[in-house]
Amino acid sequence: MTTHFWQTPNRKWFSLTKTCSKCKEEKSNIEFHNDRSKSDGFYSSCRQCTSKAAKIYRTAPHYKEEHNKRNRKYYKGTRSKQYRKDPVHYLFMVAKQRAKKNGLEFSITENDIKVYKICPILGTQLDVLTNKVNTSMSLDRIDNTKGYIPGNVAIISRRANLMKRDCSIEQLQKIISYMRGDV
């Protein structure tokens, strides 16, 4: 076997061939990915074995979980960016998706959304920079039993929306009575 040498920028001499740690074949250095952390500057396994291992890794269940987690994080980032750009349009689009998913009527256009600068319920200034805080804008169905139909939508604070979301008027009144110690 003839051994060829070449000079790397860090002035060390290395063999032009290398034996793959996986398939044990002796291959030319160009058959290996570069890896600056290795003393000879190359991956220990050849490109073929590396890509084979990567394919197997990607089909492993824990990989899918990790991958989805990363994607969700990215998706969240773009969501808050979209909100900042045009909150009303963003809330309109999100509501449309939600309505489709939950089988709710959706017959509004963006013009049907009543926009306030402050929450009409709590009186707090509405936040246009982030969609994740209590004071963020939130698209509310005024009557929870009805869908997104003209006259039934308004922008209120996220806090107010979360409080009224799952309750009927009667249930809210019962909660108030309870909190006042009437019950």
Distances (CA, A) of 26 to 18, 21, 34: 5, 10, 16
The residue among 20 and 160 lying less far from Zn ion, judged by its C-beta, is: 20
The distance of closest approach from Cβ of residue 46 to Zn ion in the complex, given in angstroms and rounded to an integer, is: 3
Q: Which residue is nearest to Zn ion (CB)?
A: 20
**CA atoms of 93 and 112, how far apart (whole Å):** 13
Six-digit token pair at 58? 């990607």
Q: Cβ(129)–Cβ(84) under 8 Å?
A: yes
**CA atoms of 115 and 111, how far apart (whole Å):** 9
Distances (CA, A) of 61 to 14, 50, 55, 178: 39, 19, 12, 48
Q: Which amino acid is at 162?
A: L
The distance of closest approach from Cβ of residue 38 to Zn ion in the complex, given in angstroms and rounded to an integer, is: 15
DSSP type of residue 91: H
Six-digit token pair at 172? 């809210």
**CA atoms of 148 and 166, how far apart (whole Å):** 16
The residue among 45 and 135 lying less far from Zn ion, judged by its C-beta, is: 45
The distance of closest approach from Cβ of residue 159 to Zn ion in the complex, given in angstroms and rounded to an integer, is: 58
Contacts with Zn ion, residue ranges (CB under 5 A): 20, 22-23, 46, 49
The distance of closest approach from Cβ of residue 18 to Zn ion in the complex, given in angstroms and rounded to an integer, is: 10
The distance of closest approach from Cβ of residue 59 to Zn ion in the complex, given in angstroms and rounded to an integer, is: 19
The distance of closest approach from Cβ of residue 40 to Zn ion in the complex, given in angstroms and rounded to an integer, is: 15
